[in-house]
Amino acid sequence: EMDVAAPEHAILASSSSGLLMTKIQKATTRPQRCVLVHPVLPVYLIPLVEIAGGDQTSRETLSAAYDFMKRLGKIPVLLKREVPGYIVNRFQAALLREAIDLVDKGVASAEDVDKAFCMGIGLRDPIVGPFLRIHLAGEGIERFIENYSQSYQYRWETMETWTSIPPSAAKKMVRAVKEMEVIRSRSLEEIKNWRDEMLVKLLKVIREV
């Protein structure tokens, strides 16, 4: 249907967060002009977009999608190869598993887990990402690897590796989230509006810097 609706020179872009482009482009007659352009929620505020090609996507298509997103005022990142979840959702998957496990094991409440993220690394990470952070923390990336690898190994060895949320953990998570003050005191729509207002203010500060 897309082949019929769009002219031959048009690039077909998908925002799918689950399907890989290699699978999607098999359904078209122009696989070389198919590309993934994946935004981050809420898409009307977050500037980042992930760009990825499939096995048959041309370099010209990737470059065109990248440049077009930049002209729209977005901040594109280019994946060198396909991977389920791309970049952002893989970050979120790893973070969510650990957050669920902390609640499941009774280490902290859902409210305090969220607070630790938002008022800890969440404040720092809009400025520096994981690689720049460890470069700064270690006074250089080589020194970080030399001095901190063992402590990170100890943490990783104590972290969960399940790939499906255990039913008992899911029940605890649901109960813990419903106990959060913000959820008990506001509607879903009110929370979304508050989130968007905070994002607008944060983006203004980042752009001024």
Which residue numbers are catalytic? 17, 38, 50, 89
- Chain centre to alpha carbon of residue 79: 13
Give the C-alpha separation, 155 to 121, whole Å: 17
Crossing angle for the helix pair 88-104 and 167-178, nearest 10 degrees? 90
Q: How far apart are CA 62 and CA 138, in angstroms?
A: 35
Please report, as a single letter, which amino acid is at residue 112. Answer: D
For 166, phi and psi rounded to 5 degrees? -60, 140
- Which structure tokens are listed for 132? 């720049």
| Amino acid at position 96, single letter | L
Q: Which residues contact 64 (CB under 8 A, 6 or more apart)?
A: 11
> For residue 122, what are its two tokens?
């969440």
- Antiparallel, parallel or unpaired: β 75-78 and 48-53: parallel
